[in-house]
A and B are shown apart, each in its own frame.
Chain A
Amino acid sequence: MRKLVDLFSKNKKAQLLLFIVYVAVSSLSLILAQQSVVAFLLLLFSILLLYFLKLSTKAKWIIGLVIVAVLIPFSASQGQAYESYMDVATLVGIYCAMALGLNIVVGFAGLLDLGFIAFFAVGAYTYGIFASAQASKFLHFGHFPLSGESFWIFILIGGIVAAIFGILLGIPVLRVKGDYLAIVTLGFGEIIRIIFNNLDKPVNITNGSMGIASIAPPKIFGIVIANASQFYYVALAIFLVVVYIVTRLEHSKIGRAWKAIRDNEIAGQAMGIPLVKTKLIAFAIGASFSGMMGVVFAAKQTYIDATSFTLLESTTILVMVLLGGMGSVPGVILGAAVVTILNLQVLTEVSNWLNQLNTNGVISIPDALSPAKMQRFIFGLLLILFALYRPKGLIPAKNQKYDVNKLKKSTTKSVFVEPQVSNDKKASGGSEI
């Protein structure tokens, strides 16, 4: 057995073969047993396995894209549960992008934000208001609702509006630190929700607690995007853009600056980092991801009201970041996927199953402990266990390693430190520390 494990951990080909078998089996079982949530989850799980395979990054991306863009939708499409599977997958994409946004603020820059859902709400309302008849209630020019074709440009607009809100929030809020910042952002999140819930008078902008209905679904080349299986690709595309942006920024000057002020604010400033500007950029970029996905959410639901944007949602996204691993991009993606699937599928399935046993009289559960009520409890319990046994998250953050040979090959001569000085020093010291 040990030999076998050894073989697999060393041998690339064996790994790849086993992986292909795994993917084939799980997708086949999903094709054959469409009702089986387990098969669906196993297929999703293959992405995680892929992450740990010893392959080049490029190969992983290509295989991953094939699985996500082709295999999963195809395997799930053979039965009635298709749309509900794709709905879950779409939500996973939406939450992943949001969690990656919050990860910039919390994980990279170290600013605890408990009102993050507000930016999602801002994005959702931005599209909702203008893509429904709502806008004509307070604007006396133009034709509303805008057509579904405007959706694509609204993804950008939603992101920009949310970023502006992020900056507006940031300017007063970033004066306070730590726990105070958490409380102020929590307040901001609630204020935004309450404003959206009440802004039907004096001017009816959000339609108050009635919410905004009949939001135009997206349209492209005359095709209306109305099904989860179609939204899935929209969410996937935005998610990929977000991953690209996050990984690029993480290993750039701004990414280093975020982590520097997270680790030590005073030293960061002393090294020339402008504190407020750096934090505001984190807030704005994080918020924009959330805003973009808010637009998608509004278009997908075609109805929004303030109840979708509660404090519970903010904490759920924060949990995704903490569970996955603060500051770790793959970790946060995994965290978002796990929490979303846990909430939408596993816990609901389990409680449905327990309910069934209860009604069939197999077991008897007192009313106070009814499974539906227990969902949150089980979720909380899992969190506590993770906090105790994996405090750095499912996939802890790792630093990028530099290739010494590349750095040594310096063709340009620095004006600042003459090479001969460095050689001297290297010979005289350096070994004993």
Chain B
Amino acid sequence: MNILEVTGLTKKFGGLYANTNINMNIEKNSITAVIGPNGAGKTTFFNMITAVYKPTSGDILLNGKSLVGLKPHQVTKFGIARTFQNIRLFHDLTVLDNVLVGMHHHLKSSWVGALFQMPRTRHAEENAKKEAYRLLEYVGLAELLNESAGNLSYGAQRRLEIARAIAAKPKVLLLDEPAAGMNPKETKKLTDLIHDMRTKLDITIVLIEHDMKLVMEISDFIYVLDHGEEIASGKPDDIRNNPRVIEAYLGKGAVANG
């Protein structure tokens, strides 16, 4: 069953087509990779799904319902959460508060309730904090709960972004270059984490990644973009040997070393 379907998705910036007629079918509970050289339009694709950009044309369906025209926060409510290529944490907030913000749309705590300290609100807040702590344990950041997010190491910040995103209880999680800047050991842990989120948390994962080893190891299915166009799609083994993909990468001087 497809959880996310994208048809004819196109984005034009002035004269530049950042995405041209992209079609994707993402199966529920799968791990899908979107790869391509720099400037291929991968992040633009994520930005359209999460309503940061409005598509020039095309449609995005989550469980059959169109997401086009929604506001970003509504998309989150529908069940899509994401991380960012250039980390976007709430750097002055504590690590735990960052995760709590991720719970915004399902946390039953109105500001009127907070004002009068209504039991229901207090309960919801307490449970949310415990759950946030558990999420931090899950990604291995529990000891840093009271640290300002801006003070974390690069790898820890990437993990925190993941914890914050899954706090929103998404059906689909979009990860934009989650392994960027990580050392091999951290990347290994990340790989485990992604697997775990899929099997234990029942989340469908779409990731953009330049680390071919990670991509080939983890993905069920891969889409390749180049110059905004979808040039190939298939299982890792098909992609590895696809001449168009090799050309796209080698032409740019990058090496697909998978």
Residues of A whose CB lies within 8 Å of any CB of B are 245, 248-249, 251-254, 256-257, 259-260, 262-264, 266-275, 281, 397, 399-402, 404, 407-408, 410, 412, 414, 416-419, 421-423, 425-426, 428-433
A259 nearest CB neighbor, chain B only: B93
Query: Do B73 and A248 have beta carbons less than 8 Å apart?
Result: no
CA distance A274 to B101 in the complex (A): 12
Q: Once the chains bind, are B137 and A422 in contact (CB under 8 Å)?
A: yes
Are B101 and A254 within 8 A (Cβ)? no
**Do A433 and B141 form a contact, CB below 8 Å, given A270-B72, A272-B105, A272-B168?**
yes
Cβ–Cβ contact B159 & A416, under 8 A: no
CB-defined contacts of A260 to chain B, threshold 8 Å: 90, 93, 101
Closest residue to A251 on the B side, CB-wise? B114
Q: Is B218 an interface residue (CB 8 A)?
A: no
Contacts of B115 in A (CB 8 A): 245, 248-249, 252
Residues of B within 8 A of A400 (CB): 94, 97
Assess whether B71 is in contact with A274, with CB atoms less than 8 Å apart.
yes
Cβ-defined contact, A257 with B101, below 8 A: yes
Is there a chain A Cβ closer than 8 Å to B213's Cβ? Answer: no
Complex contact B142–A430 (CB within 8 A): yes
Choose from A252, A272, A397, A419 the contact partner of B111 (Cβ within 8 Å). Answer: A252
On whether the beta carbons of B90 and A259 are closer than 8 Å, the reply is yes
User: A267 near B76 (CB under 8 angstroms)?
Assistant: no
Chain A neighbourhood of B134, CB < 8 A: 410, 414, 417, 419, 422
A252 to B201, CA, bound (A): 27
Contact status of A414 and B90, CB under 8 A, knowing A248-B115, A272-B76 = no
B196: Cβ under 8 A from any A Cβ: yes
Bound: A223/B117 CA distance, A: 34
Quick check: B90 and A425 within 8 Å, CB to CB? no
A346 to B30, CA, bound (A): 69
Q: Is the CB of B125 within 8 A of A271?
A: no
User: With A and B bound together, what is the CA distance between A334 and B193 in angstroms?
Assistant: 47
Given A256-B101, A264-B88, A269-B73, A412 and B127 contact (CB-CB distance below 8 Å):
yes
What chain B residues lie within 8 Å of A271 (beta carbons)? 73, 76, 81, 101-102, 104-105, 164-165, 167-168
Q: CA of A425 to CA of B201 in the docked complex: distance in angstroms?
A: 14
With both chains docked as a complex, state the minimum distance between the C-beta of A292 and any C-beta of chain B, in angstroms. 15
> What string of 1s and 0s marks CB contacts (under 8 Å) between B131-144 and chain A?
11111011111111
Among residues of B, the one whose C-beta sits closest to the C-beta of A419 is: B134
Q: Which residues of B contact A (CB under 8 A)?
A: 50, 52, 71-73, 76-77, 81-82, 84, 88-94, 96-97, 100-102, 104-105, 107, 109-111, 114-115, 117, 121, 125, 127, 129-135, 137-146, 148, 152-153, 155-156, 159, 164-165, 167-169, 185, 189, 192-193, 196, 200-201
Given contacts A264-B88, A272-B77, A421-B138, contact A254 B114 (CB under 8 A): yes
A402 x B102 contact (CB < 8 A): no
- Decide if A270 touches B81 in the complex (CB within 8 Å): yes
Docked Cα-Cα span, A263 to B84, in Å, equals 15
6 sample A-B contacts, Cβ–Cβ < 8 Å, listed by A number: A245-B115, A254-B114, A259-B92, A266-B72, A270-B72, A418-B200
Which residues on the B side are within 8 Å of A404 (C-beta)? 133, 142, 145
Docked complex Cα distance between A386 and B109 (Å): 38
What 8 pairs between A and B have smallest CB-CB spacing? A252-B114, A272-B105, A430-B140, A267-B88, A429-B140, A269-B72, A407-B133, A272-B76
Separation of A275 and B144 alpha carbons in the complex (Å): 28
Enumerate chain B residues within 8 angstroms of A281, measured Cβ to Cβ.
Answer: 111
> Knowing A245-B115, A249-B115 touch, does A268 contact B143 (C-beta < 8 A)?
no
Q: Which residues of A contact B90 (CB under 8 A)?
A: 259-260, 263-264, 267-268
A425 to B97, CA, bound (A): 21
> Nearest Cβ distance between residue B90 and chain A, in whole angstroms?
4
Which of A272, A400, A402, A419 has the most chain B CB atoms inside 10 A of its CB?
Answer: A272
**Least distance between A168 CB and chain B CB atoms (Å):** 20
Cα A277 to Cα B25 in complex, Å, equals 34
B71:A254 contact, CB within 8 angstroms? no
Partner of B146, one of A259, A399, A417, A419: A399
Separation of A281 and B97 alpha carbons in the complex (Å): 20
A401 to B109 alpha-carbon distance, docked (Å): 20
Give 6 new A-B contacts, CB below 8 A, not counting A263-B92, A266-B52, A431-B140. A271-B101, A399-B146, A399-B148, A407-B96, A430-B140, A433-B153
Q: Report B102 CB to chain A, min CB distance, Å.
A: 5
Cβ–Cβ contact A253 & B89, under 8 A? no
Is the pair A257, B88 in contact by a Cβ cutoff of 8 Å? no
Q: Is the CB of A425 within 8 A of B93?
A: no
Chain B residue nearest in CB terms to A409: B130
Complex: how many Å from CA A425 to CA B196?
Answer: 10
CB distance from B63 to the nearest CB of A (A): 18
